[in-house]
Structure 1
Amino acid sequence: MTTRTVATVSGEVRIDALGLTLMHEHVVLLDAEVEVNRLGRWRDEVEIPAATASLIATRVAGVDTIVDLTAFGMGRNVERVRRIAEGTGMNVVVATGIYAFERLPRFFAARGPQTVNGGPDPVEAFLVREILEGIAGTGIRAGIIKCGTDVAGLTPDVTHMLRAAARAHRRTGVPISTHTDAASFGGRDQQALFRAEGVDLSRVVIGHCGDSTDLAYLTELMDAGSYIGMDRFGYDARLAPERRLEVVAELVRRGYAGRMLLSHDAPCYSDTLEPDTRKRLWPNCSHTYIPTVVLPALRGLGVGDDDIDRMTVRNPRDVFSRNEPY
């Protein structure tokens, strides 16, 4: 039997060796123009060692793998991520995708059928190339597709992007992970579009469901087959940590541990907030918060070790196990 693997920045890793996995994280969030024009604080000689130290601390806390869902438009630089991860013992899976919640970047919007430049759809081709050949000539292949909707919903460009993601997924077999605005029930629109494109919804992770306390909505998404990301632990100003914990514990009690994934949506580095501001607003927003605080708290709410293992080890493994085209 063929041993299944997933692509990481350090090469192929056996899926059964992924261990405790955080499925929705970031390593570096950095506006490329800010970096080029040296407007922010990023300096390789300072921030790369700092990010490496952050990953080492996360590894020591018990995390084996993080899935870096930094897409095109978020300052993605996978060669830099490889440098940061080197020697940490951390598996880092990176994503392909385009970060756009209303309009596609002009490069993509100006190409494809019925545009001035014509040609095939550049979005689907971009996604497939990064999965099968690698990203930006680095040889690092994407192991997951990132796409999303936000408060604007399914605009024409966002619809185009999600359809391209669905088709790239079916051509390559790699899973889809999304961004949603939970308050506007964005997961419903995503599932409807993916279903219309022939996507097996059990191969889709609907993200940022951890911002919601609407159990009917969350169970609806899981009953339709998808995994849901309870992936904003540490964003306490959005929803109190006690409420996030209570929702997960209640869903476990209802039998849904097999459809949830725990994560933070946290970066090692971000140029959005200065360090003091981030510490003041999001003191718990780090990759160590789940292993050191959240998991003990869930145990205190009656969630057993088997269910914790399912949400943090077996569910992520299963997401990557069915990576075959269809």
Structure 2
Amino acid sequence: MPQVQTVQGPVDTAELGQTLMHEHVFVLDPDVQQNYPEEWGSEDQRVADAVGKLKELEAVGVRTIVDPTVIGLGRYIPRIQRIAEQVDLNIVVATGCYTYDDVPFFFHHRGPALNAALGTEVPDPMVDMFVGDIEDGIAGTGVKAAFLKCAIDAQGLTAGVERVMRAVARAHHRTGVPITVHTHPGHRTGLDVQRVFGEEGVDPRAVVLGHSGDSTDADHLSELADAGFVLGMDRFGINLETTFEARADVVVEMCRRGYAERMVLSQDASCYIDWIDPGVMALLTQWRYTHIHQEVLPYLREHGVTEDQIETMLVTNPRRYFER
């Protein structure tokens, strides 16, 4: 039976059950948190709050969350281990690097940055780092990453973004684990992913194009689905620049077109994110872990999405993604 790595060890993919494919436990800026700890407050309280929110997910039938928190998003696995021990939920973690522009300063004068000076091609240390997280475990915790994560946003394919993307592709080839990419469908950055990963020989079926649901352009999304990509309809509840109905209606339309097998669902929520002012967070009343089950799924059903299609998006597609 195929298995997938979780925070508490490998589980059979058949045991993943209902899976939300893009949720964070915490999204943090570690430099700020370390130097201004009053923002974070009590570690015990943050952990207890996270446990409570994840137990709400258990109560609505979710069995697994896939957490793409990597370098650049405040990944700290010992804290996630502590939480995982207290919930009956699989937490699947990632390796990779999150940037919209340049690589972190750590990488500026390592690897390919030295090619010109040395007159030779220098391997990118990111690749070995990512592979180590997958094969050996993260930071001595024994917790192994089960997928890779990178990003491309409105800034497009900058040199730094492309470097990370190619490092992710090469780590994918060495390990076989799948990939999730944060994309900006308004700028059609999925097409950049398609070109770069195509050059690197990555099978699109192993790739989730995250945040595809930010777009209502069903023709563009159909083009990406036809190319083989999995579409992450994964920001339900973030309705500052769009609406609940717009996010849900594009899923309805894609299901009508026969693309349920090419979509996964999620909310990109977190127990705590320090990127957003609490006053703004208060406006996002639907941005929570249980929004899909409490509000999105009833809407989809009312608009013609079948139980089989819902099962495909929540259970079958995540399982297939990790079995490749």
Fold equivalence (TM over 0.5): yes
Task: Please point out which of 157, 176, 194 is paired with 2:197.
Answer: 194
**Residue 191 of structure 2 is aligned to residue 215 of structure 1:** no
> d(CA) in 2 for partners of 1:275 and 1:100?
24
Task: Quote how far apart the aligned CAs of 1:20 are.
Answer: 0.5
CA displacement 1:110-163 (0-9 Å, x = unmatched): 211452799531111111111111111111100110011011111111111101
**Residue 140 of structure 2 is aligned to residue 137 of structure 1:** yes
2:71 is matched with which residue? 72
1:162 is matched with which residue? 165
Task: Quote how far apart the aligned CAs of 1:293 are.
Answer: 1.1
2:111 is matched with which residue? 112
Q: Which amino acid is the alignment partner of residue 5 of structure 2?
A: A
2:9 is matched with which residue? 11
**Residue 51 of structure 2 is aligned to residue 52 of structure 1:** yes
Task: Quote how far apart the aligned CAs of 1:255 are.
Answer: 0.5
Q: Which amino acid is the alignment partner of residue 21 of structure 1?
A: T
1:193 aligns to what SS in structure 2?
helix
> d(CA) in 1 for partners of 2:278 and 2:55?
19
2:24 is matched with which residue? 26
1:288 is matched with which residue? 290
Conserved in 2, the CA contact under 8 Å of 1:35 and 1:42?
no
Task: Quote how far apart the aligned CAs of 1:272 are.
Answer: 2.1
> d(CA) in 2 for partners of 1:157 and 1:274?
28
Using a 3 Å threshold, how does the CA distance of structure 1 residues 300 and 114 change in structure 2: closer, same or farther? closer
> d(CA) in 2 for partners of 1:246 and 1:114?
45
Task: Please point out which of 298, 302, 309 is paired with 2:304.
Answer: 302
Q: Which amino acid is the alignment partner of residue 218 of structure 1?
A: L
Task: Please point out which of 303, 317, 320 is paired with 1:318.
Answer: 320
Q: Which amino acid is the alignment partner of residue 147 of structure 1?
A: C
Using a 3 Å threshold, how does the CA distance of structure 1 residues 206 and 292 change in structure 2: closer, same or farther? same
Task: Quote how far apart the aligned CAs of 1:81 are.
Answer: 0.9
1:238 is matched with which residue? 241
**Residue 224 of structure 2 is aligned to residue 225 of structure 1:** no
Task: Quote how far apart the aligned CAs of 1:45 are.
Answer: 1.5
- Report how many aligned residue pairs link the two structures: 319
Task: Quote how far apart the aligned CAs of 1:109 are.
Answer: 2.1
CA displacement 1:211-244 (0-9 Å, x = unmatched): 0001111000000001000011001112111111
1:149 is matched with which residue? 152
CA displacement 1:59-105 (0-9 Å, x = unmatched): 11111100011110111111111111212101000010111111000
2:11 aligns to what SS in structure 1?
strand
1:129 aligns to what SS in structure 2?
helix
1:40 is matched with which residue? 39
Task: Quote how far apart the aligned CAs of 1:39 are.
Answer: 4.5
2:89 is matched with which residue? 90
Identity of aligned residues (%): 46
Task: Please point out which of 200, 203, 207 is paired with 1:204.
Answer: 207
Conserved in 2, the CA contact under 8 Å of 1:55 and 1:85?
no
Using a 3 Å threshold, how does the CA distance of structure 1 residues 219 and 120 change in structure 2: closer, same or farther? same
> d(CA) in 1 for partners of 2:155 and 2:277?
28
1:24 aligns to what SS in structure 2?
coil
1:107 aligns to what SS in structure 2?
helix
**Residue 174 of structure 2 is aligned to residue 171 of structure 1:** yes
**TM-score normalised according to structure 1 size:** 0.95
CA RMSD of aligned residues (A): 1.4
Q: Which amino acid is the alignment partner of residue 103 of structure 1?
A: D
2:257 is matched with which residue? 254
1:120 aligns to what SS in structure 2?
coil
> d(CA) in 1 for partners of 2:155 and 2:41?
31
Question: Tell me, which stretches of 5 or more residues in structure 2 are unaligned?
Answer: none
1:271 is matched with which residue? 274
